[in-house]
Structure formats: C-alpha cells, structure tokens
C-alpha cells in the first residue's frame, strides 16, 4: 500500500537535504525509513510505498541545515484490503489507481456461484489445457451449460445473468450462437452502431462483478467492476513502459 505526503520548505537560505520520514512509532527520524527530496526550497509531494494494511503510521517532514529539524507529526492509518485482491495499486489513468482481483473470475452454473481463482495463473481452458479441477476432473470451458458442475472462466461480454431482455445474458450462453454480439442492445452505449463496452448507468448490471456476489471477494454485489475501455487502453498502451 502507499500514501502521498506533501510538505513545503521555505525561509532557509540554504540546506543540504529535506524529505519525509515515517515509522509505526511516534516521532519518526531519518535514522529509519525516509525519502529525500533534495536541497532546493519549494513545495514537494512524495509517495511512501510498501506500507502494511490496517496499520497506523507516524510521518514528519525534515530538513537538514547543520542539524536535522522536523515538522510536527502527522498520522494516518492504512486501509484493510478487501478479500480477493492482489496487494498493490495499478494505474488505470493519470490520476486513478485500482485494486485487481487475485485471479480470473470463474462461474459454476449448477450452483450459480461466482468466485475468483486463487492465482493469476489459474485458467480453465479445456480438458487438455488449463489447471482448474473440480471433483478430481479438469474443468472445461467447452462444456458450458446451465447445469455444468465444473468451473468456467470464458464469458460473453455482459453475460452477468442480469436479464435485460436480450437473447443471451447468462454466462453459459457464450457458445450457443456466434451471432450473440448482434443481440446485445442494452449491454452498453452504442456509437455509430459500435458497442463501446462500457457498462454503467442503466446497463451497469450487465457487469459481472456489479450484479453478482463473488464468494471469495467480499460476497456482496457491487464490490467489483470491469475496467472501462479507456482504462484498458491506458493500462496496456498509454502508460509509461506499457510495452
């Protein structure tokens, strides 16, 4: 986890260093964790990374001018991560970060159960590829059906189970007809006959995590969502070092 801290240095003709120090105990010093911001006066914002969840931290700005001078102490407590997430924030725009799920979203039609895979590398695939097992048998996306008791992780876009009047809306409808994309009016905004695939407003319930409870991800609806088209573009193409 991380936190942003801002401070200013002015009124000093010269100094050799300034920055922020922090600790889980009061009165943090530069002898422990700290970030240097240089020796020029001005306004600064630094990011403290690698913090533990649900932990109270004490933070002070410092400046070195002969000896070390400290600001008053500021405290904050980090949040508790929800269940089902990978630790760490991921940038999906210049000013927005999100938490990702621990693994692929999986669905069991026979029990109408949604869950996250335990690991990012877990995937269903078919009876040859994939590594997800149920009752001693390898799960198989090709067996998608309303009564299938294995797990699937391949869904048509917007097939959350929310019936908005479209022909295909169940996650197990994916392989029924290759023309399903022509039946998706209501799954997202349409521009020039092209579906932009952003699920919000009147169509938000077509988003799997918005409409459904995910048993190992908080087990409440509306705790998760699919990223928007713009967020995917930023993550995979526009951000620094996206390649």
Residues 155-167 have pLDDT tens digits of 877 789 998 777 7
Q: What is the pLDDT of residue 203?
A: 81
Longest Cα–Cα distance in the chain: 76
Token look-up 């911001």 returns: 37
Q: List C-alpha distances in Å: 142 to 72, 108, 128, 139, 164.
A: 62, 13, 11, 9, 25
Residues in the chain: 243
Question: What is the pLDDT confidence band of residue 177, given thresholds at 50, 70 and 90?
Answer: very low
Please give the Cα distance from 166 to 48 (Å, whole number).
48
Token look-up 């409409």 returns: 211
Q: Tokens for 56, please give them.
A: 């109270």
| Residue-averaged pLDDT of the chain | 87
Domains and CATH numbers, the chain: 3-77 (2.60.40.10), 86-230 (no CATH)
Please give the Cα distance from 55 to 52 (Å, whole number).
6
Q: What is the pLDDT of residue 138?
A: 95
3-state secondary structure of 237: helix
Q: pLDDT per residue over 76-94, tens digit each?
A: 999 888 899 998 888 899 9
Chain centroid to Cα 134, Å, comes to 27
What is the C-alpha end-to-end distance of the chain, expressed in Å? 24
Token look-up 């002969």 returns: 66
Q: pLDDT per residue over 17-51, tens digit each?
A: 999 999 999 999 999 999 999 998 899 999 898 89
Q: What is the pLDDT of residue 219?
A: 95
Question: What is the pLDDT confidence band of residue 190, given thresholds at 50, 70 and 90?
Answer: low
Question: What is the pLDDT confidence band of residue 124, given thresholds at 50, 70 and 90?
Answer: very high
pLDDT of 134 strictly over 80: yes
């Amino acid at each position: 986890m991380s936190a942003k801290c801002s401070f200013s240095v002015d009124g000093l003709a010269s100094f050799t260093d300034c920055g922020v120090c922090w600790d889980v105990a009061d009165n943090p010093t530069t002898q422990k964790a700290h970030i240097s911001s240089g020796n020029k006066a001005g306004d600064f914002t630094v990011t403290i990374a690698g913090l533990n969840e649900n932990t109270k931290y004490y933070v002070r700005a410092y400046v070195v001018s002969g000896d070390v001078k400290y600001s008053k102490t500021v405290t904050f407590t980090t949040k508790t991560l929800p269940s089902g997430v990978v630790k760490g924030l991921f940038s999906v725009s210049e000013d927005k970060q999100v938490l990702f799920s621990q693994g692929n979203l999986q669905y069991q039609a026979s029990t109408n159960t949604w869950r996250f895979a335990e690991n990012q590398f877990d995937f269903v695939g078919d009876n040859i590829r994939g590594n997800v097992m149920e009752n001693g048998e390898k799960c198989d996306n090709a067996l998608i059906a309303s009564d299938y008791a294995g797990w699937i992780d391949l869904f048509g876009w917007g097939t959350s189970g929310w019936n908005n009047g479209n022909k295909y809306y169940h996650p197990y409808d994916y392989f029924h007809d290759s023309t399903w994309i022509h039946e998706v009016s209501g799954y997202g905004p349409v521009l020039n006959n092209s579906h932009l695939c952003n699920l919000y407003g009147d169509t938000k319930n077509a988003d799997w995590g918005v409409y459904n409870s995910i048993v190992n991800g908080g087990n409440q609806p509306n705790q998760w969502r699919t990223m928007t088209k713009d967020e995917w573009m930023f993550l995979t193409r526009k951000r620094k070092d996206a390649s």
